[in-house]
Amino acid sequence: MEILKALFWPLAIAIPLAACGQLEQPPRPLPPAPYAYLSLAACKHYPANIVECQLEYGTQFGRHRLGPVQQVSRDLKTDLDRSPYQVSSCWPASRIQRELPNFTCRIYRPYSGADSGSVLVKGGTAVKLARILGDREQISYRWKPDQWSRVRD
């Protein structure tokens, strides 16, 4: 009986303590390409809860900015710890002008894995994003002067 007590008490203490090491969750896995290379960085706060971030594309070896993304939000934090928001997915949003794309993109914090909501991508930033996402219409588009324009008459 003494042997069982001697074996039982260390196990009774060790098993719950072993579970304490498992409390830290691994970081959220990266989304599939091309979303794994898209992030929001350099966020700035403006009056009336407007936040402007730069949509970036690339890896840690080289990134380039696609353009600004603005959102009315209290939740988006400025880059105090220099960790950007990761884009997890994007889908087309309704358009006012058919030629110009709009996208809604879900974002999250990569280290905590916390969902941070969504942002609307529009204008020139959305055109560049559409090309990255493989939109054939935007890839093949080339600006041509309007043949009916009377500006140069």
pLDDT digits (tens, 9 = 90+) for 3-51: 655 556 555 565 555 555 555 566 777 888 899 999 998 888 888 888 8
Q: Are residues 67 and 123 in contact, defined by beta-carbon separation less than 8 angstroms? A: yes
Number of neighbours of residue 57 by Cβ within 10 angstroms: 17
Collapsed DSSP state (helix, strand, coil) of residue 129: helix
Q: What is the pLDDT of residue 78?
A: 59
Alpha-carbon distance of 2 to 9, in angstroms, equals 11
Q: What is the chain's length? A: 153
* Residue type present at position 20: C
Q: What is the pLDDT of residue 21?
A: 55
Q: What are the φ and ψ backbone dihedral angles of 78, each rounded to 5 degrees? A: -75, 165
101-105: average pLDDT: 91
Q: Report pTM.
A: 0.70
- Give the H/E segment covering residue 91: strand 85-92
Q: What is the pLDDT of residue 142?
A: 72
Q: What is the pLDDT of residue 98?
A: 72
With cut-offs at 50, 70 and 90, classify the pLDDT of residue 105: very high
Q: What is the pLDDT of residue 100?
A: 81
Collapsed DSSP state (helix, strand, coil) of residue 19: helix
Percent of the chain with pLDDT over 70: 75
Answer with the residue of higher pLDDT: 139 or 1. 139
With cut-offs at 50, 70 and 90, classify the pLDDT of residue 80: very low
